[in-house]
Chains A and B, each alone.
Chain A
Amino acid sequence: MLGKTANGLYWMFRYLERAENNARLIETGQRIALTRSGAPTDEWTPVMKTTGTDASFAEKYDAVTKESAIDWMLRDADNPSSVRSSIEAARQNARMVRTALTAEVWGAMNGCYIDVKGKLTRRVNERDLPNVLGLIRQRTALVRGATHGTMLRNDSYDFARIGTFLERADNTARILDTKYYVLLPTSAPVGSQLDNIQWETILRSVSGAAGFRAAYGQTIKPTEIVRFLILDKRMPRSLNFCCSKIRDNLGYLASEYGDKRKSHQMADDLCRRFMSHDVDSIFDYGLHEYIQDVVTALNALGHQIERDYRFFA
């Protein structure tokens, strides 16, 4: 396989995942804004911080309003991570690696692009927002489904999966990083009203509210959120889950190509982190520092994979 093709597959699926994650963040932000009681607070700046675009937003807008924030995250061409930009980038990468995709995957990706672009040509008003966000999640899920159902389990698939899980791990880590302070242990045994909302937000941002209740019961405890999102291998967006998938797919590449490269060692090291730490030791180490370490390790792993598999000349 061409190094360029590996690069294209990796980024196609990273952007696809990013589009879906950002749609979910908008949905969560919108829901919190609608259900909150009391004085209006700024829910949107932390959301934009999570996507790493709060600074560029501030360059373009003087103040944060609900409308401008949603528009920025949903369809602003100046925001390279907006849903629209991400889907365009995913589709452009898909065009470049079309020879490595099945007709079904390409068709789903192109259909996703055409339909979502059609919905995002104009500013989306609040009434239509749930439908538009639903469509985005549906169409990106269709691409993922076609990938799962029709692609050979070879190196193409591995690079697609590695891109997906690196992006997803990065997203979960960023959500935790933006909100880590509300998860720190406090003296109060039961969280305040505000804490509960914050915790709910975190779980919704990773489509994990129902899963959390199923696994941990009705009472939300911050330590269990941390366990759920970092260590729990049942949770498909937890750091542990994502990193073990990356390691698995790198492992398949190693057996297909017959050699292990630097990135394999890095992925092993990353995964070991989640095996040897229980939640208390994470808090002992410092939640913020721990997450920062993971984000740095994920970045380094991504760069090493690019080098190991000759994404660029």
Chain B
Amino acid sequence: MIEEISSVSMVVLMSDGRFFDEMWAGEDAARSPYAAFHDWITDEDPARLRAKQREAEEVFRLTGITFNVYGRKEAEERLIPFDIVPRVISGREWQKLSRGIEQRVVAINAFLHDIYHRQEILKAGRVPKEMIAGNEAFLPQMMGVMPPGGIYTHIVGIDLVRTGEDEFFVLEDNARTPSGVSYMLENRETMLRMFPELFAKQKVRNVSNYPLRLQKSLAESAPSGTSGDPTVALLTPGSFNSAYFEHSFLANNMGVELVEGHDLRVVDGRLCMRTTEGYKAIDVLYRRVDDDFLDPLNFRHDSTLGVPGIFDVYRSGAVTLANAPGTGISDDKAIYSYMPDIVEFYTGEKAILQNVPTWRCSDPDSLKYVLDNLEELVVKEVHGSGGYGMLVGPASSKKEIRDFRKKLEARPANYIAQPTLALSTVPIFTKQGLAPRHVDLRPFVLMSPKGIRITPGGLTRVAMKKGSLVVNSSQGGGTKDTWVLDD
């Protein structure tokens, strides 16, 4: 049930209390991180805001901040809806989150090193051997390979959701090639341009130095033999990839070359790019191409996106790949359920960030429970991403659940299930006024041998549809600017 309270200028729709709302403490009273924003928006003329919202969309369209949707020809390039209400996190809340994120990233990196070397965690029985051996995301070619500087996960995106004042959960770890950071940056630019007065009212921590920090972090991860300034390049699958805008955006802002497989070649044991002046060696390759497609000689033979022999160069230590191949074994949805153990095993501390309880459907008892409670649960593919191929029980029709049951029974090991979380809401600005919508948060973490850098904030994704819990852009989700207050 939704009740309506009206203020002088802005209509506010409140959620019914089943969900934690990050802005509202009660009728007409904002939680403290939102106090300044609340004062501002209640005095704003909705008509002006609507005009601003259109203006923002125009900027996004002209800048070409678009993503390509697979399987939809007519809408090849689409805008991700942008909402002008910021998602605000207090400095205190952020401090705790960032401690938890750092702990988790350290553990993930240690886990990867262990899995591809001595496998102590398997010997100790904290993670079952079969979770690794039979896992598609495990890359046997990485056994015994030491990445330059010992870093596997140079860039990580940790997806967080909130269910209460102090309740944060990690939904998933993205340790392969997390995307979305360009939206974080453009969202902030857009807010700064449209509502400069808001940033004068309170101090919001800066995110715009991310590309420079990324460049620095990558350069610090160069092979030890590198002389002079390392040459960094970004490898994209090409302009038809859904995240191409982001690839060119990051290359541009880092001041590095944006390369495709056909620009690269192995010359005398080095990875080189074809320039107008001949072949030039690359020290660090930030690759946004999946492991499988990286090297047709070592992985998928039919790949045209990669570079023949690049993995051999990597193994010889002559180039850094960011992230390292094989990191998928750490963000696999089945491994996810062991993360509290993994954190404890490598850091000796209890995990600061909570995991969502997870049923692995490969386990017969769990499968039975999941099948009996499909209406209540969220079921995801172990290797899926982008919100494709998942079931949100409470939001699905009887037929959808019936169809999904068949898929689940056919390949139980392919799925995990989690309780449907009561995701927090943040208002979005709609035609009717402010209305609550569910959100998640993806902070971005950079890791180099010199240390860990976490950008304050991240990408807030918001389900634009009323009641929806799916925030993925491929499923109609939008984004918000995320503010961490300097308090």
Q: Which residues of A come within 8 Å of B, CB atoms?
A: 1-6, 92, 95-96, 98-99, 103, 106-107, 110-111, 114, 155, 253, 257, 309-310, 313
Contacts and interface: CB of A to CB of B under 8 A. Distances in A.
Contacts of B283: none
Nearest to A1: B276
Closest 4 CB pairs of A and B: A309-B276, A98-B248, A99-B252, A3-B274
A4 B263 CA distance: 7
A96 B239 CA distance: 6
A41 B474 CA distance: 55
Contact of B62 (A1, A98, A107, A253): A107
B62 A310 contact: no
Interface string B265-277: 1000000011111
Given A95-B244, A95-B248, A106-B64, A313 B274 contact: yes
Nearest to A108: B62
Contacts of A253: 276
Q: Which of A3, A6, A110, A114 lies at the interface centre, i.e. has the most chain B CB atoms within 10 A of its CB?
A: A3
B275 A310 contact: yes
A193 B63 CA distance: 51
A102 to B, nearest CB: 10
B211 to A, nearest CB: 12
Nearest to B279: A310
Interface residues of B, number: 22
Contacts of B265: 313
Given A95-B244, A310-B274, A2 B62 contact: no
14 contacts: A1-B257, A1-B276, A2-B257, A2-B275, A3-B276, A5-B257, A95-B64, A95-B239, A99-B248, A99-B252, A99-B257, A310-B274, A313-B265, A313-B274
B64 A313 contact: no
Contacts of A103: 63
A207 B252 CA distance: 37
B391 interface: no
Contacts of A1: 257, 275-277
A95 B63 CA distance: 11
Given A96-B239, A103-B63, A313-B265, 5 more contacts: A1-B277, A2-B263, A99-B258, A257-B277, A313-B274
Contact of B276 (A98, A99, A310): A310
A92 B274 CA distance: 21
Nearest to A7: B276
Interface of B: 61-64, 239, 244, 248, 251-252, 257-260, 262-263, 265, 273-278
B283 to A, nearest CB: 16
A92 B251 contact: no
A96 B260 CA distance: 10
B352 to A, nearest CB: 39
Contact of B274 (A4, A110, A257): A4
**Main SS of the interface on chain B?**
mixed
Nearest to A4: B263
Contacts of B62: 107, 110-111, 114
A110 B276 contact: no
A303 to B, nearest CB: 16
Contacts of A313: 262-263, 265, 274
A257 B277 CA distance: 7
A249 to B, nearest CB: 13
Given A99-B257, A313-B262, A3 B275 contact: yes
Nearest to B260: A4
A312 B250 CA distance: 24
Given A2-B259, A96-B239, A313-B262, A257 B64 contact: no
Nearest to B255: A99
A110 B275 contact: no
B239 A92 contact: yes
Nearest to A103: B63
A235 to B, nearest CB: 31
A110 B263 contact: no
Given A2-B263, A3-B274, A313-B274, A110 B239 contact: no
A2 B239 contact: no
B257 A3 contact: no
A276 B63 CA distance: 48
